[in-house]
Amino acid sequence: MHKVQSLSTKSYTLSIASIKIGDEFDSAQELLTFDPTDTHHHIPALLDTGSPCIMLPGGQEDGTMLRSPYSLYQDYAKKWSKMFITVNGINVGLELNRADLEVEHHTFLDQAWGTSVRPCVMPVNWAMKPPHQTPIVLGAVFFRAYNVLFDLSKSSPSVPPTLGVNLLCKPSALAYLRCANLVR
């Protein structure tokens, strides 16, 4: 289990430095393109079992981002197999297989698109006013791939809880090998 303190005492929030999509980490498309003059270089990510998908900011965060993370996701034309997430404070990268993010969609467009199974990635449909950032939301599809620990034992009104993440081991030999290999 890889543990890190939440950014907030009021929510379960990770500090995300990078989200990439592609087949290999080194050649993957970065979705968080920070303005080089911005000093934060992270976006908060809420861990939320009540949200179905991974949700990415749909705007440029008052100029701290060069492009909207969600528009970069939408503009990526190649079919990708993995999403790579780098969390500040955790020394290993989190890797999600596309299959972990796919859900069935039932809309009138399914016939036109030729499939009803697509990655569950959506734009965040609200905006925060500065100095706060619009968060990334790691929803239910994230919890399909990772065990998440919410440790409140040392938290208080002034001390945030500890969060832990660990790859969920699925009951098959191939999945166990994937589970044992936590580094990129």
Q: Which of 8-22, 46-60, 126-140 has the lowest mean pLDDT?
A: 126-140
The pLDDT of residue 41 = 84
- Cis (ω within 30 of 0) for the bond into 135? no
CA distances to 25, 124, 130 from 61, in Å: 25, 12, 8
Amino acid at 34: F
Q: Could you give the CA distance from residue 25 to residue 93 in angstroms, rounded to a whole number?
A: 10
The pLDDT of residue 176 = 55
Residues 149-165 have pLDDT tens digits of: 999 999 999 999 999 99
pTM (predicted TM-score): 0.81
What is the pLDDT averaged over residues 11-35?
92
Beta bridge partners of 150: 163
Contact 109, 23 (CB under 8 A): no
The pLDDT of residue 126 = 65
Q: Could you give the CA distance from residue 92 to residue 107 in angstroms, rounded to a whole number?
A: 37
pLDDT category at 183 given cuts 50, 70, 90 is very low
The pLDDT of residue 19 = 94
The pLDDT of residue 135 = 84
The pLDDT of residue 23 = 93
Domains, the chain, in order of start with CATH, read: 2-180 (2.40.70.10)
What is the pLDDT averaged over residues 119-146?
78
Residues 71-90 have pLDDT tens digits of: 999 999 888 899 999 999 98
The pLDDT of residue 127 = 62
What is the pLDDT averaged over residues 115-141?
73
The pLDDT of residue 18 = 93
The pLDDT of residue 184 = 39
Q: Which helix (H) or strand (E) holds 173?
A: helix 173-180
